Each structure stands twice: as C-alpha cells, then as structure tokens.
C-alpha cells in the first residue's frame, strides 16, 4: 500500500503525558473531519484545527517510509504518527516496518476510525459531533472547551490518563483558564499544554 505524507520532522512531543520526549513526527495528509481548506472550515465537523495537512508526497511502500522516518530522527526511536487523521492510512504493515527499525510507535487520532493493532501508545482526542470508535487507549486528550463534548461524557472510557488541552485560537487564554479551573475541581483530569508552541519548536 502507498502512503501520502504531509511532513516528517524531528522535535519534542509537545503535548500530553509524553510531553518533552524526543520524537519523529510522521504527519499523514488528509482528514475525515475537515478537507483542510479554509473555505470549508466553517461547515466542517472539526472546525478548530491548528494544522496544515493538505498535499504532500507519496511513499510507495511501508519500508521506504519507515526508512525516511529513521533518516530524519537521528538516534530517536520514538515516532508519533499524526495528521490529518492517521486512522485513514496507518496500517499494521507500516507499524511492523517501524518496529523493525527499532521504533516505538505512538498515534494521535480523533478516534472515529478503527486503529491497526501493534501500537505502543494511543492518544485519542475526541471531537464533538462524532461517534468514538476507539474507546480504549493510553491517553484521552480532549481539546477544551467544545460544545457537545463535555469531559464527563468520556470518563467511563478505558484510558490510563485523561487530559484537557486548551483550544488554541483567539480564545486561548480564556480556554486555558477554564481548563485549569476544571482540573482543580475534577482532579482526574490533567492539564495538557501545547508546549512546543510556547518554546517555539515544531
């Protein structure tokens, strides 16, 4: 199978429980909840996306893509597969190829599609107005606040960690204050800041 990739870059995981860890980011093109075109944003299912996932380059097979990930990452052997929505393209063949090169494989997903088996870390970030297919994993990282996606709606799910990530955009400061207030009064939720934006790395 072939894969369409928006970008591959070496940085620190900025978000969630693994924040601060060196990682290679493999960003796939395309998403099932937004076309990625600004003119479509207002009518998309997911309207707050901070990411450009349109276009990119094609890899014809899993092994060549895994080798490209390794070439970017120096001695880093932790890959975060994201997008766009990686559930559209990530498969067991690619996970196997990455494992073969010594990588642990993490995924960032909106959770609306099934995931292949073999992943080492699953981060699900639910979106209002969608049905969650991935109901277990390592961390549930809810962008906050979202009308129609209250934190309480996810607390029964089988995740090891529950995090609130303030929605970036014009209301980021107010959203951060609201997330802090929620964590103070609902201590099973932790704050996830987008630390890469704070320190100015990709």
Ligand X SMILES: Nc1nc2[nH]cc(C(=O)O)c2c(=O)[nH]1
Ligand Y SMILES: C[S@@+](CC[C@H](N)C(=O)[O-])C[C@H]1O[C@@H](n2cnc3c(N)ncnc32)[C@H](O)[C@@H]1O
Binding residue positions for Mg(2+): 51
The answer to whether 109 and 87 have CB atoms below 8 angstroms apart is yes
**Phi and psi of 62, rounded to 5°?**
-65, -40
Q: Which of 13, 125, 138, 176 binds ligand Y (CB under 6 A)?
A: 125
To ligand SF4, the closest distance from the beta carbon of 33 in angstroms equals 4
Q: Any catalytic annotation for residue 183?
A: no
Pattern 41-60, binding to ligand Y, x per CB under 6 A?
A: -------xxxx---------
34 binds ligand SF4 (CB under 6 A): yes
46 binds ligand SF4 (CB under 6 A): yes
Site size for ligand X (CB under 6 A): 11
DSSP states of 59-108: ESSHHHHHHHHHHHSTT--EEEEESS-GGGT--HHHHHHHHHTT-EEEEE
Contacts of ligand SF4 in 65-94 (CB under 6 A)? 83-85
Of 25, 53, 154, 162, catalytic: 25
- The whole-angstrom separation of Cα 79 and Cα 107 is 8
Helices (H), the chain: 62-72, 92-100, 172-185, 195-199
192 binds ligand SF4 (CB under 6 A): no
Query: What single DSSP character describes residue 153?
Result: G
Q: Which residues lie near ligand X (CB under 6 A)?
A: 11-15, 25, 51, 82, 108, 196, 202
């Amino acid at each position: 199978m072939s894969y369409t990739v928006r970008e591959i870059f070496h940085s620190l995981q900025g978000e969630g429980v693994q924040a601060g860890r060196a990682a290679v980011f493999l960003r796939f093109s395309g998403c099932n909840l937004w076309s990625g075109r600004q003119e479509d944003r207002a009518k998309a299912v997911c309207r707050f996306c901070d990411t450009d996932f349109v276009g990119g380059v094609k890899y014809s097979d899993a092994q060549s893509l895994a080798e490209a990930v390794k070439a970017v990452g120096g001695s880093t052997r932790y890959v975060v597969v994201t997008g766009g929505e990686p559930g559209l393209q990530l498969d067991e063949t690619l996970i196997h190829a990455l494992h073969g090169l010594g990588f642990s494989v993490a995924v960032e997903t909106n959770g609306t599609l099934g995931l292949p088996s073999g992943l080492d870390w699953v981060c699900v970030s639910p979106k209002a107005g969608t049905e969650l297919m991935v109901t277990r994993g390592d961390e549930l990282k809810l962008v906050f606040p979202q009308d129609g996606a209250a934190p309480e709606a996810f607390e029964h799910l089988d995740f090891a960690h529950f995090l609130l990530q303030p929605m970036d955009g014009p209301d980021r400061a107010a959203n951060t204050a609201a997330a802090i207030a929620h964590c103070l009064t609902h201590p099973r939720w932790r704050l996830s800041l987008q630390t890469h934006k704070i320190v100015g790395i990709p």
